[in-house]
Amino acid sequence: MQTLQSLEYEELYSHYNKYLSEFLPYSSNNRYTDLITLPESIGSGMISRTRLRPGMEIIIADCRMKDVHTMQLHGNLPMVDLTFWIQGNIEILHSGTQEQISPGLGHLTFGLEQQLELKYAAGVPITICEIRLATALFDELMDELGQARYSFALILDGRENRIFHQSILPKVQSILQDIRSHPFAGPMRKMFLEGKTLELLALWFQQTLFEDEVSAQRGGIRLRKEDIARVREASEILEKRMEQPPSLLELSKLAGISDSKLKSGFKELFGTTVFGYLKEKRLDKAKELLEMERINVCDAAIMVGYSNPSHFAAIFRERFGCNPREWIIESKRL
């Protein structure tokens, strides 16, 4: 006999096929994973969807649209959705509000229904990792963590949707890279992905839902809203001036915050140092330039602030697992 909970899990499974119906049929290379190869009329690349346990699935999209493509996501199935925008610019229309999504962002969404419109640019590589949880499983996880006050219903608190935005921290980027490039297949792949998915959920819940508790445990000082705004302003300055970045003292003056608060603020918000953050953004931008602009390695290095191509190639390999030239070759295959 099916329980209400098992019915909810099955509904989560079937809901996925509704909003990807234009790409179906898909192939199942094992009982855990469905694979969709985009039709040539739409674009190129693949979307994989792996069922990790009842009520938990992970979707990985690595593709490129032939033309500007709009996808409608409309449904009334409550769920928890954690999406990482790894590569590609996407426009989202949500509840009448339009938002431009850039790479390096993560969204943790609690929703009673989905009313979204996603607009993908033509010819641009798109990489997205999405984790979907049935609400019953989310509540189970919160109960196991001793955090029952963060149940799905209490988080929404009468609202239809609630979204938590965060930048993707370097530690999370590393896990996402592991998910996209691993040697496993079949049941071992499922086990590996489930472990990485739980790791991502733990980090993201800690950053968003349990932030106050974590700060108190560390004995840290909570940043005021004004400080957070200035730290974010400093991060934007670094991204705009990555070719010739300001010194730490100059950056603190430009953002209107002390250098000590700036350093602790970057650790609090981004999980890294000021110049660790700059390094990550430089490499992300360089990767984007190599993929989208088809420029050579030396030019990409100079455009993001590295005068020594050999040093640039070394840290690029450290971050992405291959050198820049190999990355160019790989991106051309997509």
pLDDT above 70 covers a percentage of the chain that reads 83
In the block, tokens 């839902």 appear at 209
**The predicted structure's pLDDT at residue 179:** 92
Q: What is the mean pLDDT of residues 158-170?
A: 81
The residues, ordered by sequence, that sit 6+ positions from 156 with a Cβ below 8 Å of its Cβ are 110, 112, 162
How many other CB atoms are found less than 10 A from the CB of residue 32?
18
Flag whether pLDDT at 85 surpasses 80.
yes
**Between 109 and 215, residue with greater pLDDT:** 109
pLDDT band at 60 (very low <50, low <70, confident <90, very high): very high
- Among 16-30, 115-129, 223-237, whose mean pLDDT is lowest? 16-30
Q: HEC profile for 94-115?
A: ECCEEEEECCCEEEEEEECCEE
Residue 134's φ and ψ, nearest 5 degrees, are: -70, 145
**The predicted structure's pLDDT at residue 190:** 92
**Between 330 and 279, residue with greater pLDDT:** 279
Flag whether pLDDT at 8 surpasses 50.
no
Q: For 179-203, what is each residue's pLDDT tens digit?
A: 988 888 888 999 999 999 999 999 8
**The predicted structure's pLDDT at residue 113:** 76
| DSSP summary character for residue 307 | S
The torsion defined by the Cα of 177, 181, 183 and 188, in degrees rounded to 10, comes to: 60
Flag whether pLDDT at 214 surpasses 50.
no
Flag whether pLDDT at 12 surpasses 50.
no
- Alpha helices, H only, 45-118: none
Residue 17's φ and ψ, nearest 5 degrees, are: -65, -25
Q: pTM here?
A: 0.63
C-alpha distances (whole Å) from 249 to each of 101, 152, 274 are 31, 43, 11
